[in-house]
Amino acid sequence: MKILPARSALSGRKYWTFGGVFDSISIARRIAEKEALSSEPGFWNDGAKAGRVMTEIKALKDRFDTWVHLKADVEALDDMIRMSRDEGDDSMELDIRTSYKDISGRFDKAIVLELLSGEADRSGAYLSIHAGSGGTEACDWASMLLRMYTRWAERRKFKADIVDLLEAEGGVKSVTLEIDGDYAYGFLKGESGVHRLVRISPFDANARRHTSFASVYILPIIDDSIVIDIKPEELRIDTYRAGGAGGQKVNKTDSAVRLTHLPTGIVVTCQNERSQYKNKDVAMSVLKSRLYEHYRLEKDKENQKFASEKKEIAWGSQIRSYVFQPYTLVKDHRNKFSVGSVQTVMDGDIDPFIESFMRWRWQGGNAAAAAADEDEEL
């Protein structure tokens, strides 16, 4: 039997740090500050604010306890390995390997959550897909991406609802999904950009290889903890009759809503609900998310150190290629991560891309250089 080294591989990983990804002192300080705030007179007078504070306290304690337990389990595993090595006892090998596998899995999950530390990362997400030029082929590609992200949401037990849909011949011209689940925005924000499809088109009688593009844009669902001020005089509201496939699906009333934010020119539409009031509420939520992203990017422009990140996720930047023929490959052009099973990815298994991108980004990946390094075979 080959005994594992006295110091397990976990304790030597780059990510295993209480001052890098996880800062225990900072987290403990924030817990103490929030608990002191909850003890102040009149704290519960504002129920909504108090609820947000208590939710944050619970989230911080969960994060802290996760790492405390992991650290204790790693130390216990090290003691078990040392004892087995010193006594020459091979009977503990199965227990050691089982414990290592369990701790390693918990460690990787904890690391991913620690990388989701942005202001809105814990929020749900609005995911918009827009077909590029290319007619039927591009619209079919947009519908394939819609299916991929819907399947991904189902895998994570997230709720995914269509907010706005513009159908076209052969597929989808544009669609917006509301994905409700913890950290949905944090997981998906790296998906923003242009996704490229390379395949032999089923719509081409000559069976030629086609390249199609679709843009994906991710926005956080803004809750009360993030204040977005929209003045009534800055907003234009238009109503119109919702479209449909015909017959009973055609709405006979002007229930669709279009909101235009005059200072920025941002336009949001919603026609999924039959009620004009519900459509207006959903459209207002999407508008707040668009404005949050707009102001965030404006703020980033003021600070040059965010330049590479901005380019990395900007609208119009090609981030990933999906090749169906003459071989199968899905490749992220930012960090060069790739898998050969394109069908598995199209069935919603995109977590390897999401997690590899987050780790690469945390390690200081140069998006600008990666985006410029185009692979000739793709």
Distance (Å, whole) CA 182 – CA 47:
22
DSSP state of 368: H
Mean pLDDT of the 104-131 span: 85
Return mean pLDDT, the chain.
80
Residue 12 has pLDDT above 80, yes or no: no
On whether the CB atoms of residues 269 and 287 are closer than 8 A, the answer is no
Residue 348 φ/ψ region, left for φ over 0, alpha for ψ in the -120 to 50 degree band, beta for the rest: left
Output 344 or 86, whichever has higher pLDDT: 344
What end-to-end distance do the CA atoms of the chain give, in Å? Answer: 46
H or E element in which residue 196 lies: strand 193-200
Report the pLDDT value the prediction gives residue 374, as an integer from 0 to 100. Answer: 47
Question: Comparing 367 with 289, which gets the higher pLDDT?
Answer: 289
Quote the CA–CA distance of 16 and 13 in Å, as a whole number. 5
Predicted confidence band of residue 148 (pLDDT cuts 50, 70, 90): very high
**pLDDT score recorded for residue 110:** 83
pTM: 0.68
pLDDT class for 13, splitting at 50, 70, 90? very low
Mean per-residue pLDDT for 100-129? 85
Is residue 151 pLDDT above 60, yes or no? yes
**What's the mean pLDDT in 269-275?**
81
φ, ψ of residue 142 in degrees (nearest 5): -60, -40
pLDDT of residue 162: 92
Query: If pLDDT is split at 50, 70 and 90, which confidence band does 7 have?
Result: very low
**What's the number of CA atoms in the CB half-sphere (13 Å) around residue 117?**
15
Q: List phi, psi (to 5°) of 270.
A: -150, 130
Inter-residue contact 178 to 150 (CB < 8 Å) = no
User: Which residues neighbour 252 within 8 Å (Cβ) at sequence distance 6 or greater?
Assistant: 241
Residue 100 has pLDDT above 50, yes or no: yes
Cα atoms in the 13 Å half-sphere on the side-chain side of 138: 15
DSSP per-residue string spanning 321-348: EEE-SSS-EEEETTT--EES-HHHHHTT
**DSSP element (H, E) containing 360:** helix 351-362
Query: Which secondary structure element, helix H or strand E, spans residue 83, and what is its range?
Result: helix 47-87
Residue 30 has pLDDT above 60, yes or no: yes
Structure tokens that stand for 87 in this block: 């006594």
Cα 163 to Cα 221: distance, rounded to the nearest angstrom: 13
Q: Which of these ranges, 37-46, 59-68, 301-310, has the smallest mean pLDDT? A: 301-310
More confident residue, 153 or 253: 153
- DSSP letter assigned to residue 13: S
Considering 70-79, 131-140, 228-237, 246-255, the range whose residues carry the highest mean pLDDT is 70-79
pLDDT band at residue 5 under the 50/70/90 scheme: very low
Nearest to 224 by CA among 56, 49, 37: 49
| Domains, the chain, with CATH or none | 9-114 (1.20.58.410), 125-221+315-372 (3.30.70.1660), 232-301 (3.30.160.20)
**Which tokens go with 345?**
């990815």
Per-residue pLDDT tens over the stretch 325-370: 889 999 999 999 999 999 999 999 999 999 899 888 877 765 444 4
Give the mean pLDDT of 195-205. 87
Indicate if the alpha-carbon torsion angle 335, 336, 341, 343 is positive or negative. positive
Cβ neighbours of 242 (radius 10 Å)? 23
Residue of 239, 192, 241, 201 lying closest to 219 (CA atoms): 192
Task: Give tens-digit pLDDT for 152-168.
Answer: 999 999 999 998 898 88
